[in-house]
């Protein structure tokens, strides 16, 4: 009987902790959605690899690249056609529209540059590493 109480207590605590973690993670994601970000630095500092931040035309291409980086599984990596990529230059702005694939990929709208107004996809790690969030102007009334 005593072990049954301990088991029930452990199950209750684990579900409560996972629900609390899911709520905080969801709140963090909501603060990113609809925010404006500006490219602060280029993704690659090597001149041989090109300059700028890569955005993907298809969300699946971005996710497969993210998976290959995360698990170091380049054997199953899908080849991305260079025509389906664009490169942002420093100081160009994007607006986050929504997150996909468990918050690992963001759908972004370009706010400046040649492809302004179009939607592309960005790996979430690159957003945190290469972009800075613009502050909203708060004017006192």
**Is 26 found in the same domain as 90?**
no
**Considering the domain boundaries, does residue 138 fall inside one?**
no
**Is 7 found in the same domain as 75?**
no
**Is 85 found in the same domain as 18?**
no
Cut 0.75: pTM above it? no
**Is 65 found in the same domain as 24?**
no
**Is 71 found in the same domain as 39?**
yes
The per-residue pLDDT for range 1-50, each reduced to its tens digit, is 677 776 666 766 776 655 555 544 555 556 789 999 999 887 655 544 56
Rounded CA gap, 24 and 66, in Å?
Answer: 23
Single out the residue of 27, 29, 33 nearest to residue 94, CA to CA: 33
The owner of tokens 């972009």 is: 131
Q: What is the span of the domain harbouring residue 96?
A: 35-133
pLDDT at 17: 58
pLDDT at 111: 95
Single out the residue of 130, 54, 63 nearest to residue 102, CA to CA: 63
**Is 85 found in the same domain as 52?**
yes
**Considering the domain boundaries, does residue 48 fall inside one?**
yes
**Is 109 found in the same domain as 40?**
yes
Spatial contact of 41 and 124, defined as CB atoms under 8 Å apart: no
**Is 16 found in the same domain as 77?**
no
Question: What is the number of domains present in the chain?
Answer: 2
Rounded CA gap, 51 and 47, in Å?
Answer: 7
Average model confidence (pLDDT) across the chain: 81
């Amino acid at each position: 009987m005593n072990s049954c109480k301990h088991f029930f207590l452990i199950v209750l605590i684990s579900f409560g902790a996972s629900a609390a973690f899911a709520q905080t993670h969801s709140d963090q994601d909501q603060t990113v959605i609809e925010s404006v970000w500006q490219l602060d630095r280029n993704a690659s500092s090597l001149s041989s690899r090109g300059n700028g931040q890569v955005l993907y035309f298809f969300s699946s291409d971005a996710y497969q690249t993210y998976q290959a980086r995360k698990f170091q599984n380049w054997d199953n990596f899908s080849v991305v056609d260079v025509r389906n990529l664009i490169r942002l230059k420093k100081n160009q702005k994007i607006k986050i529209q929504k997150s996909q694939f468990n918050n690992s990929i963001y759908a972004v709208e370009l706010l400046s540059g040649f492809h302004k107004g179009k939607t592309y996809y960005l790996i979430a790690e690159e957003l945190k590493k290469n972009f800075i969030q613009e502050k909203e102007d708060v004017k006192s009334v």
